[in-house]
Amino acid sequence: FNIWKPIKTILKGKLEYMVSPSAIVDLLAILPAYRPLRVLRIFVLFRVFKLLRYTKSIHQFVEVFATKRFELVTLLFLLVFIVTTAGIAIYVFEEKTNPNINSLFDAVYWALITISSVGYGDISPVTPEGRVVSMIIIVSGIAMISFVTSVIVSAFSEKLDELKENRIVEEINKNKDFIIICGYGQMTRMFLRNNSLLSYEYVIIDKDIERVEIGRKEGYNIINEDASRYNVISKFNINYSNITLLALTGSDINNIYITLNAKAVSRNIKVVARASSANMEKKCRLAGVDHVVLPNMIANRMLLFAITQPAMYRAIYSILTGQNLAQLDEVSTVSHYKLVGKQIKDIDFKAHKLLFIGFQCGRKEEFIFNPPPQIDIRLGDVLLVMGRKVSIEYFKQHYGEVFYG
């Protein structure tokens, strides 16, 4: 075991952070705590920068206004034009008769507070012409406020869904394990309804806005994005989370593209994809899919069993739906280390009231039914057993809890 390799990896990450802009801001933000010189007090400003760096809502708020930059700039120029014109007009009409207007600045000041509907009352027009200008300014102010309000409301309504989706991504990235479901169709609905007790958090990605709206109404965490795009998958916490991606769209081509994209983002993302035929299964394997599900083939087999072998159909159906007291479960040697080094014949499954079905070889990921009793169990292998839940739990407890070696 080479200890220097992990130490080098850890130190490399620390050094990269030390020279990053965010780390420099952190350093400058704490300097005032140790300042012997008054000049260092300027670094107090960096505490504000540090606060802004951790406040994503401020950036999102600015982005909302940036989307309506043209409209807001146009309204600003219109406001400047109206205030300037009204200020000049009131100055011309009121300069000699109104003792409160002694300069052009006083006139512009009056126009600004009038159009903003503040109206302090410290300056009031006294001539008929000035009062006409005042009425025009009041009406213009109401119109300006209405326009600005409509632009801002429109910007927030357009950005609201995006803000909600960003919040969903931020929340799910806090989890160590979560599922990304690509495609909101019948299979996704059935999966979520039948696995309501699933402990993993999830997020659904679909590029069809109509399906996304339906998913939101049904209460699911769903975002309107294209899962085949690199930047969509890369915004998830791929470095520190165990991610399982389910490619469940109705198109085999889309599922392959999604798989290629996910594997390009990170080879550690586990991909389970839906395929329509055995030929597409091979193509999915070539694309990097870890597990391929063939719902059409499985449904056809179940129909055939129901007609020709009803007993087998009832047995499989009972196991899949959990209607039988006996259930299937897997026992991993990574979590139950006392199994490592033993042979199949050394494990008394009957004493634990369990039926041994077979095991998966961790190195080859090949499942073997009813293996020879002389086969050695190694670290990474997975045993498949059948029995009552209490018997399976006792078996797992008997052969160890968690392996840390």
CATH of the domain at 338: 3.30.70.1450
Q: pLDDT value at position 49?
A: 62
The answer to whether residue 166 is domain-embedded is no
Q: Is residue 189 part of a domain?
A: yes
Q: Which helix (H) or strand (E) holds 178?
A: strand 177-182
Would you state the pLDDT for residue 269?
Answer: 92
Residue 242 lies in a domain: yes
Q: Pseudo-torsion of CA 108, 111, 117, 121, nearest 10°? A: 90
Domain coverage including residue 116: 69-160
pLDDT band at residue 405 under the 50/70/90 scheme: very low
Integer Cα distance of 215 and 209 in angstroms: 10
User: Would the pLDDT of 31 be above 70?
Assistant: no
Residue 401 confidence (pLDDT): 56
* 42 pLDDT higher than 70: no
Place 149 in a pLDDT band, splitting at 50, 70 and 90: confident
Q: In terms of domains, do 221 and 284 share one?
A: yes
Task: Establish if 309 belongs to a structural domain.
Answer: no
Same domain, 180 and 289: yes
Closest CA to 91 of 70, 69, 109, 107: 107
Q: Which residue has the higher pLDDT, 41 or 9?
A: 9
Quote the pLDDT of residue 120: 76
At residue 244, the pLDDT reads 93
Q: Scanning the structure block, which residue is given the tokens 């490399």?
A: 12
Q: Are residues 24 and 85 in the same domain?
A: no
Q: Which residues contact 31 (CB under 8 A, 6 or more apart)?
A: 40, 43, 46
| Residue 227 domain-assigned (yes or no) | yes
Question: Does residue 19 sit in the same domain as residue 85?
Answer: no
Q: Are 240 and 203 in the same domain?
A: yes
pLDDT value for 362: 73
Nearest residue to 72 via CA among 64, 61, 60: 64
Residue 103 domain-assigned (yes or no)? yes
Does the pLDDT value for residue 78 go beyond 80? yes
Query: CA of 326: how far to CAs of 329, 349, 382, 387, 392, in Å?
Result: 10, 14, 19, 5, 10
Spatial distance between the Cα atoms of 271 and 291, rounded to a whole number of angstroms: 7
Query: What's the domain count of the chain?
Result: 4
- Answer yes or no: do 47 and 73 share one domain: no
Instruction: Using alpha carbons, list the distances in angstroms from residue 153 to 79, 158, 190, 387.
Output: 19, 9, 37, 60
Convert the pLDDT of each residue in 222-239 to its tens digit: 999 999 999 999 989 888
Who has greater pLDDT, 388 or 59?
388
With a cut of 60, say whether residue 166 has pLDDT above it. Answer: yes
228: CB partners within 8 A, 6+ apart: 254, 257, 258, 260, 261
Confidence of residue 403 (pLDDT cuts 50, 70, 90): very low
For residue 54, name the pLDDT band (cuts at 50, 70, 90).
Answer: low
Domain boundary among 248, 274, 293: 293
CATH of the domain at 126: 1.10.287.70
The answer to whether 302 touches 313, Cβ cutoff 8 Å, is: yes
pLDDT over threshold 70, residue 338: yes
Q: How far is CA 136 from the centre of its chain?
A: 50
Domain-ending residue, one of 271, 293, 315: 293
In a domain, 186, yes or no: yes
For the segment 392-399, the average pLDDT, to the nearest whole number, is 88
What is the predicted pLDDT for the residue at 48?
A: 63
Q: What is the pLDDT of residue 373?
A: 87
- Can you tell me the distance from the alpha carbon of 318 to that of 327, in angstroms, rounded to the nearest whole number? 9
Indicate whether 316 belongs to any domain: no
195 and 285 together in one domain: yes
Q: Are residues 137 and 210 in the same domain?
A: no
Element (H, E) at 247: strand 242-247
* Average pLDDT estimate for 171-192: 90
Q: Can you tell me the mean pLDDT for 282-303?
A: 90
Q: Which residue has the higher pLDDT, 14 or 171?
A: 171
The per-residue b/e assignment along 64-82, b for 16 or more CB within 10 angstroms, e otherwise, is: beeebeebbeeeeeebeeb
Q: What is the CATH number of the domain that holds 238?
A: 3.40.50.720
The verdict on 180 and 146 lying in the same domain is no
Whether residues 205 and 269 share a domain: the answer is yes
Mean pLDDT of 137-162: 84
- Confidence bin at 404 (pLDDT 50/70/90): very low
**CA dist., res. 95 & res. 139, Å (int):** 23
- pLDDT category at 53 given cuts 50, 70, 90 is low
Residues 115 and 19 in one domain: no
Question: What are the phi and psi torsion angles at 122 (to 5°)?
Answer: -75, -25
Hey, is 177 helix, strand or coil?
Answer: strand
308 vs 31: which has the higher pLDDT:
308
Identify the band that residue 256 occupies on the pLDDT scale cut at 50, 70 and 90. very high
Mean pLDDT value across the chain = 83
Average pLDDT over residues 111-138: 85
Mean pLDDT of 55-61: 66
Do both 329 and 374 map to the same domain?
yes
Pick the closest to residue 335 from 404, 402, 380, 405 (CA basis): 402
